[in-house]
A and B are shown apart, each in its own frame.
Chain A
Amino acid sequence: MTTILNKAAFLLIMLILVAGATAQEYAAKITLNGGNSFVVKKLTIKGDRLFPDSGTSSTALSMVKEIEFRFSGLSLSMCDSMFRTGDRKSLEGLLDQYVGPVAQYSNLPTNLGDYLVWLLRSQYWNRNSAGVTKTIGYIRQSKNAEYVDVASMYFVMLLLDQGKVSDAKTIFFSVVNAQDISLPMFEYIRGKIALEEGDSRQAMQHVARIIAFHSRDSEWMAPATALEARIYQQLGQPLKAQAVANELIIAYPGTQWSRLGEQIKKEAIGS
């Protein structure tokens, strides 16, 4: 099976590369306030006016009701599938290639929000901090509260990774109804904050809720399991940490989580 997947991954990468070399990146359907719409193959905006692919007539941006980007090699379901299967490097590459060039238009009424969130999530888990910061900027530009909240949550994650707990808390508590964005993410962040503040017991209670009730969550279950192992380490319970590390190794083969599991196991045996 490993061979199959490796081949599949290889083919996909090849496809991406080929697509990158030749793709017509996108088309954008412009809908005006009056209901009329037209399609452009390239969005040309000068000042506050939008220009069609040909001709000199232009439209004031204030007249544009919606800009719907359609990408030839990318769809939201594809993003979902690639993210879920752990193919996050490729996903980030695809999103960079297709969404990257138009991300600057996120301040307009576009459908870029979901794509930018997928980009942000991929960048975060691929440890691309610079990319995360940049994408958060684009999302904030959209002024869409829902997306901005999601971006804030990943910003909290980034700050926690950097050990800036106080800043992370400030951002986290500014997000209204953070649990509605993603309950496991909400619990994870609270667990991480509690752990950073030395309250291992509280941290464990948050993590336990992810593990107990979101075990099939493709994004948060693995980090929560790793956090559980770390908490046991901090509590001076190396055997339990080792048991949890074993789960990371078995359940997430060939990923950063299994590698982390190996590392925790070594530390646990060492201690």
Chain B
Amino acid sequence: MKNALSTYEGLLWRAVLVAALLSVASVHVAHSAGVTQSQLSRLDPRVESTSVLLETSKELLKNEQLEDALPFLEEVLVRLEGDDEKKARQTLAFTLYQLAYCQMKLGEYVSGAKNFVRFCDEFPDDPQMESGRVLAAQCLTMVQQWPGVEEQASLVLQNVRLADDLKVPATQLLAESRYQQEKWGEAIRPLGSLFRIAKKDTVRAGAAVMLVTCYVRLDDFSNLFKVLPHCDQAARHDVGLNVALLEAGDSHYNKGEFQKALLLYRLVLLKKDLIEHYEMRLRQTKQAMKPFVAGGSQTLSDFKELQRKRQLLFDRLMTQYKVIKSFQDYDMDVALRTAQCYNDLERNWPAHAIYHRIYTESPTNSLADQSRFSAFAVMLDEREWALATAEGYEYIQKLPEGEFLDDITLNLMQVHMQQEQFDLAFDVGKKGLELSPDHKHIDQVKYLMGYIRFMRLDYEEALGYFSEILKRWPDSRYYESAEYWRCMSFLFLGSFEDAETAFQGYLSNPKYDPRVYAEDASYRLGIAQYGAEKYEPSEASFRTFIDQYPESKMVSEAYAMLGDLRAAEGDLDVALDFYRIAREKALTLLQVNYPLFQAAKVLELEKRFSDIVELMTEYQKKWGVQGDFANAANWMGKAYKALDEYSRALDAYLDTTDAYGNNADLGGIDLILREVINDYNGEDWSAYQSIIIERLDERLKRAKESGQRPLELRYQTVFVDITEGDERDTFVDAVVQPKNVPASGASTLVLIAREGVKRNDYEIVHEATSRFMSTFEVSNNMLYIMLANLDALIGEESYGDALELTEEILLRFGYGSKSVGFARKRRGDIYRLQGKHEEALEAYKEVLSIREWRGSLTPEALFCSGVSKLELGEVEEAFAYFQRIYVLYEDYTEWVAPAYAKSIQCLETLGGHEQDVINTYQEMLSNDAVVSTPEGIEATKRLRELQPAGEVL
């Protein structure tokens, strides 16, 4: 066709074209209804004159018959190509532009873009050139040829004076093309410009989204958080943005940059919010896609174009919507990651709050299990033991088959152990093994259980656990510990032979390098051998230990043991030497005290009493109040007494008392003063009674004058013990006052409590007890003050507390002490006083069954049992109890007399035993000790009434 255009023709069409172009503005539209199909069928672009082609093209363009216009425009293009004449060039430019425009409108973006680019390249001075490039870029955008878009938009933007109506779309195209090519850094400048110059909010919001995404990808947090507040709701819900935030968050998290990861995760919107937002936008977009209405303001091609754009938008939204919908546990996942960031940043409270919410709001979610465990773990990190424990136990309860059960139970054990709650730790370990027989930490749990049993002095059971570990898990990391504690269990069980063998086995086991417990085991081996009475090997072991571990913290103890071994052999001087070295090597006061007092014993054997005095004087001087001054003072007293210098002994006691006795919280002073009381009351030093009184009086006066209240109270308490009658009462009155409680030592507090019970002043009893229990955790007097407190509680009818106290007393002191028996008898009384006679009888039965408690408690318990039986109406059984008292325990008059009286009451209640009553009275009154008792006096009176006068005579 091009070849067919001869020079002639070329000239001709140019003329026509000029005419046509000149008349463009004033073309009269002859065919306002457009060019009909029949007209078109008669026109063949290839043969028509160029003027007709142009005219027809214009008419078709005007009537939006774009598809029909294409062959005409293309033909014009062919004919004008190569013609350099100015008007022809103008027409070519026009035609090319129109052709590209039509192609664009018809969705032929590749061709449209190509022709726009050609137009712009060939006609750089054309006023439409810049809009042509923008349109070219738009066409390329439609086919996502982003490098082309970038090129065209960049070319347009080279014009610094570009009009705003082109500048905005050109900037937008450049920004988006770079963004789509992931040229994050290069996209920022055009995006920033766009954000600034765009008039439409939607465009500004879009720019903000892309900017945020760029900053996220570039890790530029400073700018990210400056732009974020400018993103509107639509922008913030952009799925691309949220995915970018999530991915960037993951990236930072994996690099250990938890703060950055956290900030990004926190920005990710929840799945439900995104879904809601996209559903709304899809709805709105769908609603906007209405059918075409002919005759409206919108042309069909504009409508189609708009419709196509809406469809594109709808499709894009739908794709994003599907992406969001396809996420499983999206919200939970983000929440969990956020919490993990907080956890990694050691901000445990927000982490805990999130974990807690995950498992409470979605208990069936697959992440709930992990969240529960994490909630427990973060509270452990925070050292919030109570909360951690609560989380742990809830996990066990709610998820007994949970993935983290083994970790939870093990950690709970450790928490309890850290808090010295050994029984709870043991129970949770046991529970863990019950619920999870294949516990992944079974060896550790068993080891801890063994250790707990050991701590609870249950060495037999501990031994079982340690032996099991050695048998079942030879590769366990707890194997060595288990072997060491097995040795220790033997030692503490008193199985010294086994302990020796076990320690030797441990020390020679080639499995360990390094041998963690080597030092300790070497020392303990000597102890085991000592216990097994293998003194020579024991001494050898201690000597080896000293050689091997001269810096050990147990060296002092080893020397002390060598001292004991030598002393046992009668090698006293050598023993004394070892005790001296032991004291020199001592690292703790305990390590000083043991060899010191052992040395005193040796010196006593050697009758070197002056040396004892010297030793103890030095000790007191060196250690003062920190040391065992009471024991030292007593040794001094003992030495002086042996030297027959009682006055100096007394001075040693009282000087030490004066030195430390004004500190009411020190317990040892009572031991010294007890010695003075014993001396006063005993036979050996009775000759010194007046001197003791005089000296005590002198010290008391001095304490009073110097305002040393605790010391004064201590001396007053001693006087209570060594005086009688009114004199004693004066001292008691001076001591037993609430204001004295804070300044009272242990003995004084016991005195206050006991006297308080006698006076029914229970308040002072509780106060004294409270101070005692909080100050003197280790004291011989504790049981006595607890008993006084028990009496006070019973006296004020606080039976519940009283019962608890009896249990505590038993727990603390066991069955060994008679005073405990008294407390348990009082337990029976508590029940009896409440009318709970069955329980009371059980309690008395316990008292009667303990061999160690036999004595005065037995007739008392029998009597009380009889009373309860009587109350239950079991008169015959009651009678039997009372009868046992005067038959078997006649020495206990205080119970024999009332037992007779109660027996007679039983006989009278039963009836028909008149003679038995008389006989019992007679038997009762035949006991001289009973006659003068109140019951005896009453019995005498009753017997007179019952018997004829002659018989009585």
The CA of A85 and the CA of B342, in the complex, are separated in Å by: 26
Contact B225 A212 (CB under 8 A): no
Within 8 A of B (CB), among A225-264: 228, 239-240, 243-244, 246-247, 250-254
Task: Judge whether B195 is part of the interface by a CB distance below 8 angstroms.
Answer: yes
B225 touches A253 (CB 8 A): yes
* Any B CB within 8 A of the CB of A223: no
- A175 interface residue, CB < 8 Å from B? no
B263 touches A1 (CB 8 A): no
Q: Which of A207, A211, A213, A218 has the most CB of B within 10 A?
A: A211
Which of A205, A207, A211, A218 is B229 in contact with, Cβ under 8 Å?
A218
- A-B residue pairs in contact (CB < 8 Å), sample of 18: A1-B227, A2-B223, A2-B226, A4-B192, A5-B226, A86-B229, A208-B352, A208-B353, A211-B342, A212-B338, A213-B353, A216-B267, A240-B347, A243-B259, A243-B345, A244-B347, A250-B222, A253-B222
Residues of A contacting B221 in the complex (Cβ-Cβ under 8 angstroms): 250-251
Alpha-carbon separation in the docked complex, A4 to B197 (Å): 10
Partner of A251, one of B188, B211, B263, B350: B263
Q: Say whether A8 faces chain B, with CB atoms less than 8 Å apart.
A: yes
How far apart sit A269 and B211, CA to CA, in the bound complex (Å)?
34
- The answer on a CB contact under 8 Å between A253 and B347 is no
Q: Which 3 A-B pairs have the closest CB atoms?
A: A208-B349, A212-B353, A85-B229
Interface residues of B in 432-459 (CB under 8 A from A): none
- A91 in the interface (beta carbon within 8 A): no
Residues from chain B with Cβ under 8 Å of A201 in the complex: 384
> In the assembled complex, which residues on chain B have CB atoms less than 8 Å from the CB atom of A253?
222, 225-226
Whether A252 lies near B225 (C-beta < 8 A) is yes
The B contact surface, by secondary structure, is helix
> When the two chains form their complex, are residues A208 and B222 in contact, meaning their CB atoms are under 8 A apart?
no
Which chain A residues numbered 174 to 201 have a C-beta less than 8 Å away from chain B? 201
Judged by a CB distance under 8 angstroms, whether B266 is at the interface is yes
Chain A residues whose CB sits within 8 angstroms of the CB of B758 once the complex forms: none
Which B residues are closer than 8 A to A by beta carbons? 188, 192, 195-196, 211, 221-223, 225-227, 229-230, 259-260, 262-263, 266-267, 338-339, 342, 345-347, 349-354, 357, 384
User: In the complex where A212-B354, A212-B357 touch, is A1 in contact with B226 (Cβ < 8 A)?
Assistant: yes
With a CB–CB cut-off of 8 A, which chain A residues contact B353? 205, 208-209, 211-213
Q: Are B225 and A211 in contact (CB under 8 A)?
A: no
Q: A240–B346 contact, CB under 8 A? A: yes
Proximity bits, A210-221, B CB within 8 Å = 1, else 0:
011101101000
Bound-complex Cα distance A84 to B236 (A): 14
Most B CB contacts (10 A, CB to CB) among A4, A205, A228, A243 go to A4
Which residues in A have their C-beta under 8 angstroms from that of B195?
4
Contact B266 A84 (CB under 8 A): no
Q: Which residues of A contact B263 (CB under 8 A)?
A: 247, 250-251
Cα–Cα distance between A211 and B352 once the two chains are bound (Å):
11
Instruction: Provide the residues of chain B in CB contact with A216, threshold 8 Å.
Output: 266-267
- Taking the closest CB of chain A, its distance from the CB of B206, in whole angstroms, is 15
Q: Is the CB of A251 within 8 A of B225?
A: yes
- Closest approach, in angstroms, between the C-beta of B374 and any C-beta of chain A? 13
Rounded to whole angstroms, the CA-CA distance of A254 and B221 in the bound complex is 13
What is the CB-to-nearest-CB distance from A79 to chain B, in angstroms, rounded to a whole number?
14
> Would you call B226 and A243 a contact (CB within 8 A)?
no
A7 at interface by CB-CB < 8 Å: yes
A204 CB–B CB distance under 8 Å: yes
- B349 and A254 within 8 A (CB): no
From the candidates B196, B222, B266, B352, name the one contacting A8 in the complex (CB within 8 A): B196
Contacts beyond the supplied A201-B384, A240-B346, A243-B347: 16 A-B pairs with Cβ under 8 Å: A1-B223, A4-B195, A4-B196, A5-B226, A84-B229, A207-B349, A208-B349, A208-B352, A208-B353, A211-B353, A212-B339, A212-B354, A215-B266, A228-B350, A239-B346, A247-B262
- Bound complex: CA of A244 vs CA of B258, how far in Å? 12
Residues of B with C-beta under 8 A to A207: 349
CB-CB under 8 A from B349, the residues of chain A are 204-205, 207-208
Q: By the criterion CB–CB under 8 Å, are A1 and B192 in contact?
A: yes
Contact B266 A85, beta carbon cutoff 8 Å: no
Instruction: Say yes or no: B192 contacts A243, CB within 8 Å.
Output: no
* Per-position binary interface string of chain A over residues 57-98, scored 1 when its CB falls under 8 Å from any chain B CB and 0 otherwise: 000000000000000000000000000111000000000000
Question: Which residues in B have their C-beta under 8 angstroms from that of A204?
Answer: 349
B350 touches A212 (CB 8 A): yes
Which of A201, A207, A208 has the largest count of B CB atoms less than 10 A from its CB?
A: A208
Expressed in whole angstroms, the minimum distance between the Cβ of A244 and any Cβ of chain B is 7
**How far, in whole Å, are A100 and B71 apart by their CA atoms in the complex?**
69
